[in-house]
Amino acid sequence: MARNDFEKTVFPAIPQSFSQNRMIYSAKLTGLQLPAPSANIRVEPYALYQYDDTKSGGNISNKLSEPKVGGDVKWVVNPETVLDLTINTDFAQADVDRAVNNLERFNIFFPERRQFFLENSGIWAGSSNFQIKPFFSRTIGLDNTFNAQPAPLDIATRYTSRNDKRAIGALAVRQSDTDEAGGSTFGVARYTQNYGKENNIGAMVTHRLDDSFNALNIGSKNNTTLTVDGFIRPTDETSISYLLSTSSDSEVNGLGYAGRIFAGKRTNDYYMGYVNSFVSDNYAPDMGFVYQKM
């Protein structure tokens, strides 16, 4: 890259109107002889001890002593498949979100920062963007969907498998109860199939079960979403992406719907695009994120 004129040199050559991320133009690496894979298992245990006390008038009260153990296990089954397990997950090394004063009536999108959920997170993305996300991992670890407080995770497991034909992902999480809400169980599964030269279609289902909480007379709640999305590139200059999602909630009457379509064409001389989104009033993805309801 020549910084003085922002000129980039790419090999093999890529048409000027496309970015260097177009893998269809990348070179193929051949002639490598890889060694036979061995058992690839990584274990990362941890142990914590927390002690808190409150002094009042020289006397110690509200003494709290709590040990905590847990860890992560990663098993690379083969070059395509990875299985992860985490117990009593500790997110002490996660970055802190920047402080924001929200003066709008719309939701603010805070990106995921926890390492367990960042790994292989692209498998859940599909054709969604920050405005409509049927699955958003930041909803896991919160005791509610409004004015939520952090909740610890008891156990979580994730399965991902990718090759040049398809991608499969599944995630299951059990969340502890708090002083304000009962525990929750999260589940998400996704399948993406590649076809043609640069096309794909995918389907995803999410389900969240919130346990009843007798202290506040709160009953159990079920929330489910089903999403179909895809990407089509009929020509090198033209691309189309689409998403259609529906939700069902035990506390909302009827099904909710959301959708998005984008079509664009980029050449050396011009770019044009069209995008349209819609979200119904009763679309409620409790494991997702919606920037604005139309």
Burial class (CB in 10 A: 0-12, 13-18, 19+), 127: buried
- Tell me the average pLDDT across 192-212: 94
pLDDT digit string, tens, across residues 203-257: 999 999 998 877 677 788 899 999 999 999 999 899 999 999 999 999 888 899 9
Q: Which two tokens stand for residue 181?
A: 């809400």
pLDDT computed for residue 46 by the predictor: 87
pLDDT computed for residue 6 by the predictor: 67
- Tell me the average pLDDT across 160-170: 95
- The reply to whether the predicted model has a pTM over 0.75 is yes
- Tell me the average pLDDT across 33-54: 82
pLDDT computed for residue 4 by the predictor: 63
Choice between 13 and 225, residue whose per-residue pLDDT is larger? 225
Q: Residue ranges of the domains in the chain?
A: 70-290
Q: What share of the chain is helix, strand, coil (3-state, %, to 5)?
A: 5, 50, 45
CA-angle at 17, arms to 11 and 18, nearest 5°: 55
Least confident piece of the model among 48-52, 235-239, 267-271, 285-289: 48-52
DSSP three-state, residue 137: helix
**Are the C-beta atoms of 232 and 194 separated by less than 8 Å?**
no
Query: To the nearest whole percent, how much of the chain has pLDDT over 70?
Result: 92
Query: To the nearest whole percent, how much of the chain has pLDDT over 90?
Result: 43
d(CA 284, CA 56): 47
pLDDT computed for residue 294 by the predictor: 59
Which of the given ranges, 80-94, 113-127, 166-180, 204-218, has the highest pLDDT on average?
A: 166-180
The mean pLDDT of the chain is 86
Q: Which residue shows structure tokens 């709290």?
A: 64
- If you count DSSP H runs as helices and E runs as strands, how many of each does the chain have, helices first? 1, 13
pLDDT computed for residue 126 by the predictor: 78
d(CA 197, CA 278): 29
Q: Which two tokens stand for residue 228?
A: 């179909």
Query: What DSSP designation does 214 have?
Result: G
- Tell me the average pLDDT across 96-119: 82
- Residues listed for the chain: 294
- Tell me the average pLDDT across 34-52: 83
pLDDT computed for residue 57 by the predictor: 67
CA-angle at 286, arms to 283 and 291, nearest 5°: 60
Burial class (CB in 10 A: 0-12, 13-18, 19+), 33: exposed
d(CA 43, CA 31): 34
d(CA 291, CA 284): 12
d(CA 112, CA 107): 15
pLDDT computed for residue 222 by the predictor: 94
Q: Residue type for 236, please?
A: D
